[in-house]
Chains A and B, each alone.
Chain A
């Protein structure tokens, strides 16, 4: 459940931004979570609600955008889509994949009043 710690970091980032922008209340927090980020969105939502309690982030909706996993295949030289770290190259079957995308966990945008 490292999602609890991640949710706390997210709430901290949002509060910091809210302080700078004189925000009254946060309606929604937009996140981008890669398919390979090792984050469970449900666990994150749960942790987020708990971490937001008693702050101006309380009650904010979490809007999660999932981004696909991507890799470069050293064998066939193609950029390919992958769903997990265990995938083989969908084009040539090689295991020589370098993960190039889908590991991110970012706060992208806030909706505030």
Chain B
């Protein structure tokens, strides 16, 4: 465990090339640090003055006083100080579990606004074609002198970031380990490696999963959900949370519609049912079909963000 922030090993997210990570504390302060791997028999104490001591001794991680100072180290449940169960007291908390993520997302959003950077959060189930679509999108955009950047979320590999870099666009890979989604803190960390391009566009490819990413605001301007025609027409009904929050739904691999006998109309009716507002666009990341409309949608979304009214809105929410 990390003594500064209390993050567990499971929570350790690694941005490639660095053991450093960032935490947003309850008061919004950002703490950046790195820690060496902690040995199994070691543990840490957070001293009242903020210092962290790490050591090991017989008794392992059993609670104890460190160096004669009570450190706030925790007592196990069976530990008693002459209090019986009848002395159980109640504490009102009323805290939103997502509040920390939302604070981080707000910090990201403010940073994007300051930089005038349009940010798209790209989500889908595994293999729907996010990376392929992104590569073709970047190829279409990069000739226009726009500054572009990509954050790639993946549980294990950095293959997708390599595919992006092959287009000449800078990319940073975030490996979430066991995590099945990107959260706003991971994006903050990634931005420390690859800042949002001023006046440009940042694309975030989320982890392939139609459930978990839906609940985590990253600070993006728009959300795109990709669903491919190899997946079945009922996807929107099975994952309504994901589709309900999309600004645009990209129906990918339409080059396969004929071969698969896929029913596009039913899929679209199902999207409409959970989200009447989202734009729905047919595309093929393989052939480029439908990309004119997709690029036009992106242009409109990015322009809308850059309008004075939108800037004022961002300022009002940030203030």
Contacts and interface: CB of A to CB of B under 8 A. Distances in A.
Tell whether A pairs with B: yes
A38 B209 CA distance: 14
Given A9-B101, A108-B94, A112-B91, 10 more contacts: A5-B179, A15-B6, A24-B80, A24-B83, A56-B76, A84-B240, A96-B276, A107-B94, A107-B97, A112-B90
Contact of B10 (A8, A9, A96): A8
Given A5-B183, A9-B97, A85-B240, A110 B74 contact: no
Contact of B93 (A4, A60, A109): A109
A106 B77 contact: no
A13 interface: yes
B61 A54 contact: yes
A12 B6 contact: yes
Nearest to B276: A95
B72 interface: yes
B214 to A, nearest CB: 7
Nearest to A106: B96
B180 A2 contact: yes
Given A85-B241, A113-B85, A95 B76 contact: no
A112 B89 CA distance: 5
Contact of A21 (B91, B96, B180): B91
Interface residues of B, number: 47
Interface in A19-46: 19, 21, 23-25, 27, 36, 38
A26 to B, nearest CB: 8
B244 A105 contact: no
25 contacts: A2-B180, A2-B216, A5-B181, A5-B212, A8-B8, A14-B93, A18-B74, A24-B75, A24-B81, A25-B75, A38-B211, A38-B214, A38-B215, A56-B74, A56-B75, A56-B77, A58-B77, A86-B274, A106-B95, A108-B93, A109-B91, A110-B90, A111-B88, A111-B90, A113-B85
B79 interface: yes
Interface of B: 6, 8, 10-11, 26, 61, 72, 74-77, 79-81, 83, 85, 87-98, 100-101, 178-181, 183, 211-212, 214-216, 237, 240-241, 244, 273-274, 276
Interface of A: 1-2, 4-6, 8-10, 12-19, 21, 23-25, 27, 36, 38, 51, 54-56, 58-60, 84-86, 95-96, 104-113
A15 B16 CA distance: 30
A19 B48 CA distance: 12
A113 B244 contact: no
A50 B208 CA distance: 24
A95 B273 contact: yes
Nearest to A23: B91
B189 to A, nearest CB: 15
Nearest to B270: A86
A1 B180 contact: yes
A51 B215 CA distance: 20
Contacts of B85: 27, 113
A86 B6 contact: no
Contacts of B216: 2
List the 9 closest A-B pairs by CB distance, nearest first.
A2-B212, A56-B74, A85-B240, A59-B77, A110-B91, A38-B241, A105-B97, A107-B93, A25-B77
A22 B214 CA distance: 36
B195 to A, nearest CB: 26
A89 B97 CA distance: 29
Contacts of B74: 15, 18, 55-56
